[in-house]
Chain A
Amino acid sequence: MTDTFRPGVRDEEILSLEGVSLWLSGREILHDVGFSLRAGELTGLIGSNGAGKTTIFRVILGLETPSAGKVLFAGHPRPRRNRSVGYVPQSIGLDPDVPLRARDLVALGLDGDRFGIPLPSRSRRQLVDEMLEAVDAQGFADARVGKLSGGELQRTLIAHALIAKPRLLLLDEPLANLDIRSEQEVVGLLAKIAKAHAIAVLISAHEMNPLLPVMDRVVYVASGRAASGPTEEVVREDVLSALYGHHVDVLHVHDRILVVAGKDETHHAELERTHTVVPRGLG
């Protein structure tokens, strides 16, 4: 399965955002966001709902154009048709009637953007089989996509993204709606993929603890601002307090990290107290 990927160079810079700001309908959704992703590394994009995680993805994917700043792929501006980025959205709201098996969906990752009807090809089929094996999806390869469980669909979509041999893989909240065991399997799989094929993997999550064992770097997002670096350098009281603009507690409980942030914008007295709770930011 390794040979289906272009050999990447470890630590090579794949993507960098420099001072990216984005205004939409008169509101600043992102403010001066900058970070870079390297080959072979798994980066967590952490923040609460509405902090700007999905918007950062949309900027990387070219679905939004930054009002200021630069998005560079290996030092160059984004090409118009960019096959070097694989994308797994959060929820795809699949119609159960769609006549596609898991293997058909993976094959669409190869050439779904092309026009015309594909001819059956042995090499195409072989590539799909290898990719299904890489995400351990042979057991449901012939099941209708609308009937897959959350974890099965997640792995199918990962294979769909990987088959195009991307340099960068973006996953929007891949752990949402998964049970704990599936969560661990998906995280393990993604870490393995990042290392084995030297691609950069960016995973967004509102909860960073499942990612802690495998995360090389973190991009922490709050209210459209971001702080990035190795986890232990970012998830600290001083850094996160500066990011939020008010005091934030970072508690280490066994091997978990709890970030406790007050609700600054609404001036509510209550404290939200979950693992990485941040104030409700920009919608």
Chain B
Amino acid sequence: MGAILTGIFEPGFFTSEPVRVAVIVGGAVSLVSAVVGVFTVIRGQSFAGHSLGDLGTTGGSGAFLVGANPLWGFVTFAILGAGAMELFGARRPRGRDMATGIVLGAGLGIAALFLYLGTTHSNTTGATITILFGSMFVIRSSMIPVFALLSVLALAVVALLYRPLLLSAVSQDIASARGVPVRLIGALYLLAMAVAVSLSCVTIGAILSTAVLIGPAAAALRLTKRPGLAIAWAAVIGLAVTWLGILLAYDSYYWPPAGRGWPVSFFVVALILVVYLLADLANGQKARRAGARAIASDKGPGVVAGRAWPSSPGEPGAE
């Protein structure tokens, strides 16, 4: 028993300070990203979410160049980027994509310059890896309050906008007819997304932040059709993959042959993919079972509805 436990938790896991900080900060950040991400997915803003991470890279690499904490660079630039996207016609979905693409291209170009200058100046390639792929184990414990504050801010915005966000995901027209300030809500949500993404840029890396934003949310949406449960599932998945990823990364230092240790971000993102595939599989199984039940009892939702309210054969969603 003890041998198995030591096999799972390699020596020093519970006493290591970097691990403790990673568990607290990484866990909280992934939870926030996953919760915020549920609305990113249903609002169809995955591209914007990814772009905020790339824009954050500009700030993160700039901060590194001037010797500041990259978190401030990420946050500042992601928020500025969100503002720019909002200004350049966020109202139409197509306009939103184009505006996002244009702002994004410019940002990444500058990031490339900063990273080049930074690495040639200080003669190290480590910064590029840290900025692009994150590193939970190098976060200083003094930063915990800052991470906590920003996490609470993002979660508070989503909690406040919960119902208007759901309503405008169903229909912007219905929402504005009901007096919901759709544009303001969209802008506030973009702000929450910018904060969530820049936090995960630090922990999981700018390139991989999208995975934490979209992955747990997409898996959660496969598992449930209720809004509250979807958010709860996303939070649990985000937290679980991150903690498990930290454990595996720590253990990987003891893995043969070299004991070099693999990056946390790799494990987290790989676990997200596995969870998503499992959720998709479970969803398919559920649908098949429901279908079988419907045929067996002749009382499936489609059949009941069909009796009172037939839908034409070719109609989408009639199944």
Q: A interface vs B, CB < 8 Å?
A: 61-63, 80-83, 85, 87-89, 92-95, 97-101, 104-105, 108, 111-118, 136, 139-140, 142-153, 155, 157, 160, 164, 177-179, 181-182, 185
Contacts and interface: CB of A to CB of B under 8 A. Distances in A.
Contacts of A63: 173, 176-177
A99 B224 contact: yes
User: Which applies to chain B's interface (DSSP): helix, strand, loop or mixed?
Assistant: helix
Contacts of A150: 311, 315-317
Given A92-B170, A95-B169, A113-B163, A149 B318 contact: yes
Given A92-B174, A99-B224, A149-B315, A185 B309 contact: yes
B54 to A, nearest CB: 24
A105 B163 CA distance: 10
Contacts of B310: 151, 179, 181-182
A114 B179 CA distance: 10
B305 A87 contact: no
Contacts of A147: 317, 319
The residue among B41, B312, B317 with the most chain A CB atoms within 10 A of its own CB is B317
Contacts of A111: 163
Contacts of B169: 95, 98
A157 B162 CA distance: 20
The residue among B162, B176, B178 with the most chain A CB atoms within 10 A of its own CB is B178
A100 B178 contact: no
A181 B305 CA distance: 13
B244 to A, nearest CB: 25
Task: Determine the interface band of chain B, counting residues with CB < 8 A from chain A.
Answer: 35 or more
B175 interface: yes
30 contacts: A82-B179, A88-B174, A92-B171, A94-B171, A97-B41, A97-B218, A99-B224, A99-B225, A99-B230, A100-B225, A101-B225, A108-B163, A115-B160, A115-B161, A115-B162, A115-B164, A116-B162, A116-B163, A136-B309, A142-B225, A146-B317, A147-B317, A148-B317, A149-B309, A149-B311, A149-B316, A150-B311, A151-B311, A178-B312, A179-B310
A144 B225 contact: yes
A81 B179 contact: yes
B308 interface: yes
B229 interface: yes
Given A99-B224, A117-B162, A136 B179 contact: no
A160 B171 CA distance: 12
Interface in B214-236: 218, 220-221, 224-230
A87 B170 contact: no
Given A83-B178, A136-B308, A143 B301 contact: yes
Contacts of B228: 117
The residue among B44, B174, B226, B305 with the most chain A CB atoms within 10 A of its own CB is B174
A63 B172 CA distance: 12
A112 B42 contact: no
B108 interface: no
A152 B305 contact: yes
